[in-house]
A and B are shown apart, each in its own frame.
Chain A
Amino acid sequence: MSDPVIVVDGVRVSYDERTVLENVSLTVNAGSFVGLVGPNGAGKTTLLQTINGVTTPDAGTVTVQGTSVQSASARDIAQRVGTVPQDGPRGFSFPVRDIVAMGRHPHRSRFDRSEPQAAITRAMERTETIALADRTIDTLSGGERQRVRIARAVAQETPALVLDEPTASLDITHQVRTLELVRSLVNEGKAAVAAIHDLDLAARYCDVVAVLSGGSILDSGPPEAVMTPSTIETAYGESVDVHVHQNPVTKTPSVTTIDERAADLN
């Protein structure tokens, strides 16, 4: 299971005069989970947006299963890439089942009046949101809403999955539960790419970690190879003192950072 699903090649994105991404290339294979790490403003979200069609690159190409994201219709892309966005507007009161059903939107014709219940129920069972089916989205907690957004992307039944900070603002249990779920989807053959702030979680769940800094990919590869003090210091700035050790429980790299200026004050 190593067919490339998402291929980003030499992508450049700039807003007005500011270049956000410069010559970024990234490949995500089927059955592989790629974690994008890097400081705030490094371009992680923008890179994800070039994959799901929200942003069109100024140069370079992005293909998903051989289909060019730039030239395909939104519908064609949405049939191939499922997106789990960060928390968005929720000033409306759709029941959870209807929100998950929206994941089927790219697969249905305008005149299709049937309800694709099977795919919706499957997605809700998978994400343990079936008990929430009749609750409205505005009555859920942050963690529950996150699971509903994942359920929607699962209902999309796409070969590729894009997740923007899936663990942000979740408690430690929900963080692990969310990434375990993504991991199991990837083990079934999906290609997933996620922006993740927590380096330890990225190291624990991802097959490949790509370090993005200043709009370019600094290094990418297996967590053990990429997460070295020098790479992380380069990415996050020289003012942090980085220590990498092996987590005794998960046997994956764990990063501890110490602000040198604060250390000096002590």
Chain B
Amino acid sequence: MDRWKRTGWWILWLLLAFVATVVWSVTVGPVAIDPLTVCKILLNEIGIPTSIGMHSANAGGTVLSVPGIDLEFVHPFSFAVSESAQVIVTRIRLPRIALAAAVGFGLATAGTVMQGLFRNPMADPSIIGVSSGAAVGAVAVLVLPIALPFGVPLIAFFAAIVTAFGVYLLASSDGRTPVATLLLAGVAVQTFLGAVVSYLLLHAGESVETVLHWLMGDLAAATWGDVGVAAVGSGTAFCVLVGYSRDLNVLLLGEEQAITLGIDVERTKQVLLGLASLATAAAVAVAGVIGFVGLIVPHMLRLVVGPDHRILLPTSALSGAIFLVATDTLARSGPAQLPVGIVTAALGAPFFLYLLRNREVHQL
């Protein structure tokens, strides 16, 4: 009982911190908007779904179109705010903030699971090559003179999933997939795909800047569609992974002990790798390669809340969202807009070194 209370409090505080971070983030930008106005606009945007239908447009409310499904909302608040501020917030700043939140949430979820599964502090969401696969897919679309009927995110997503699956197959034999082999196969495949990306970069020509921005992770071009992809990917993975929290705890004892405690280790590994890769692929496909979020956020939270995944997973995911919203706000607040990947790495690497000096990374 005690732990549920503790988990509940942590989630509550982190949600409050998240809301505060979002409000602060919305105020930052070329046009200054005061926090009070931001709160009014955000409250205006709150919608309570009243009905779910298949393409049933209703004149009364705003309609959010998830492919095939329409949700109708009733908006309980209607504060008077200037229209320009409303447009800046809802059309420009909010999609980017929401994307940062969804991507940070997904990457931190995936990172937590990978570190637990690999029992290795260096494990990150792309440890089995998801990001490298996505990078090859995305860069190929951007560089190669071929016209495709679908955009970068879709190709990146599928390239990521195919890579993860390929690494898994490469590391498996006789129905077993030792995590050490998986890790080494992942490193080798990442190196190989890195070479492919470098080669493609040589031929990037005019698109080189677009490619670089993608490779560094950039949320500048965020659309509500991107937000949907990242949110559905991370959200689905998270919800199922929460059900595997206890299995992740038991797996920390080592695979042999996990078997004797009733865990079907190989099948559990497939589920965990699949879901973590899904969350990562969805995040990377729409946001580019954003490093360090999935590596340092889980470590940070493990130091604060301990190794129990029942509390670590939700707090880590929420903190990932907060972290990426905050770093992306810093990235766009300077005179030159930086890709967020540069900021997360610039802040993340020193922090990681601090952890290393304190030897805490040895205690997964």
Contacts and interface: CB of A to CB of B under 8 A. Distances in A.
Interface string B239-273: 00001101101101110110111111100000000
B148 interface: no
Contacts of A259: none
| Interface residue range, chain B | 20 to 34
B58 interface: no
Contacts of A156: 261
Contacts of A162: 260
B242 to A, nearest CB: 10
Nearest to B258: A74
A150 to B, nearest CB: 13
A78 B260 contact: yes
B260 A53 contact: yes
B262 A89 contact: no
Contact of B250 (A81, A85, A105): A105
Interface string A78-98: 110111010011011110001
Given A88-B254, A92-B307, A138-B363, A105 B260 contact: no
Contacts of B307: 92-94
B364 interface: yes
Interface in A55-84: 73-79, 81-83
Contacts of A91: 119, 362-364
Contacts of A76: 262
A110 B241 CA distance: 11
A74 B256 CA distance: 11
B259 A74 contact: yes
Nearest to A76: B262
A1 interface: no
Nearest to A89: B254
| Interface residue range, chain A | 20 to 34
B362 A105 contact: no
Contacts of A79: 262
Contacts of B119: 89, 91
Given A92-B363, A93-B307, A98-B308, A78 B261 contact: yes
Main secondary structure of the interface of B (DSSP, over half): loop
A62 B81 CA distance: 74
Contact of B262 (A54, A105, A113): A105
A229 interface: no
B36 interface: no
B306 interface: yes
B253 A89 contact: yes
Contacts of B246: 102, 105, 108, 110
A75 B268 CA distance: 12
Contacts of A53: 259-260
A102 B250 contact: yes
B59 interface: no
Contacts of B257: 83, 85, 88
A146 interface: no
Given A94-B249, A102-B261, A85 B256 contact: yes
B106 to A, nearest CB: 22
Contact of A73 (B3, B4, B253, B264): B264
A150 B249 CA distance: 18
Contacts of B1: 115
Contacts of A89: 119, 252-254
Contacts of A103: 261
Interface in B1-43: 1, 3-4
A111 to B, nearest CB: 7
A246 B264 CA distance: 47
A79 to B, nearest CB: 7
A82 B253 CA distance: 15
Interface string A106-147: 101011010100000000000000000000001000000000
Given A91-B364, A102-B249, A111 B261 contact: no
A50 interface: no
B300 to A, nearest CB: 15
Interface in B68-90: none
A93 B253 contact: no
B260 A85 contact: yes
A92 B363 CA distance: 5
Interface in A138-169: 138, 152, 156, 162
Contacts of B265: 74
Contacts of A216: none
Given A98-B249, A102-B249, A138-B363, A75 B264 contact: yes
Nearest to A103: B261
Contact of B263 (A74, A92, A93): A74
Given A94-B307, A102-B249, A78 B262 contact: yes
Contact of B256 (A54, A98, A108): A54
19 contacts: A52-B259, A52-B260, A54-B256, A54-B259, A75-B264, A77-B260, A82-B260, A89-B253, A91-B119, A92-B364, A94-B249, A102-B250, A102-B253, A102-B261, A103-B261, A105-B263, A108-B246, A110-B244, A115-B1
Given A74-B262, A74-B265, A105-B247, 13 more contacts: A74-B259, A74-B263, A74-B264, A75-B263, A77-B262, A78-B259, A81-B260, A88-B256, A89-B252, A93-B307, A94-B252, A103-B261, A115-B1
